[in-house]
Structure 1
Amino acid sequence: MSRAGLDKDPREVAEMFDGVAQGYDRTNSVMTLGFDRRWREWSRRVLDARPGERVLDLAAGTAVSTVEYAASGAWCVAADFSLGMLLGGAHRPVPKVAADALHLPFADDSFDAVTVSFGLRNFNDTEAALREMCRVVRPGGRLVVCEVSTPTFRPFRFVYMRYLLKVLPVVARFVSSNPAAYQYLAESMRTWPDQRALAETVARAGWEDVAWLNLTGGVVALHKGTKPSGNRK
Structure 2
Amino acid sequence: MSEKTHFGFEQVDVEEKQRRVAGVFDSVADNYDLMNDAMSFGIHRLWKRFAIEQTGARPGQRILDLAGGTGDLGARLSRLVGPTGEVVIGDINASMLHVGRERLLDKGITGNVQFVQANAESLPFPDQSFDCITIAFGLRNVTDKQKALASMHRCLKPGGRILVLEFSKPVAPGLKPLYDIYSFRLLPLMGKFIAKDEDSYRYLAESIRMHPDQDTLKDMMEQAGFEDCEYFNLTGGIVALHRGFRY
Q: Bin the TM-score by the shorter chain.
A: over 0.9
Partner of 2:53: 45
Q: Which runs of 5+ in 2 are unaligned?
A: 1-5
Q: 1:58 aligns with which of 42, 58, 66?
A: 66
Q: 1:80 aligns with which of 91, 112, 134?
A: 91
Q: Deviations over 1:177-219 (max 9, x none)?
A: 5332111100011222221111111111111100001111111
How large is the RMSD of aligned CA atoms in angstroms? Answer: 1.4
Cα offset for 1:137? 0.7
Letter in 2 for 1:198: L
Give % identity. 39
Partner of 1:98: 117
Partner of 2:7: 3
Q: 1:185 aligns with which of 186, 199, 204?
A: 204
User: How many correspondences in the alignment?
Assistant: 226
Letter in 2 for 1:22: D
Partner of 1:231: none
Mapping of residues 19-30 of structure 1, within 5 Å:
19-30=27-38
Partner of 2:182: 164
Structure 2: distance between partners of 1:129 and 1:44: 21
Q: Deviations over 1:24-51 (max 9, x none)?
A: 1111111110011111100100112110
Higher relative contact order (CA 8 A, sep 6+): 1
TM superposition score normalised by structure 2: 0.88
Partner of 1:196: 215
Q: Do structure 1's residue 120 and structure 2's residue 139 form an aligned pair?
A: yes
Whether the 8 Å CA contact 1:21–1:177 is kept in 2: the answer is no
Whether the 8 Å CA contact 2:160–2:245 is kept in 1: the answer is yes
Structure 2: distance between partners of 1:3 and 1:106: 28
Q: 2:41 aligns with which of 33, 43, 51?
A: 33
Q: Deviations over 1:152-196 (max 9, x none)?
A: 1131123213x1111211111111153321111000112222211
Whether the 8 Å CA contact 1:149–1:221 is kept in 2: the answer is yes
Runs of 4+ in 1 over 3 A off after TM superposition: 5-8
SS in 2 for 1:180: helix
TM superposition score normalised by structure 1: 0.93
Whether the 8 Å CA contact 1:19–1:177 is kept in 2: the answer is no
Structure 1: distance between partners of 2:8 and 2:51: 25
Letter in 2 for 1:4: G
Q: 2:233 aligns with which of 214, 223, 227?
A: 214
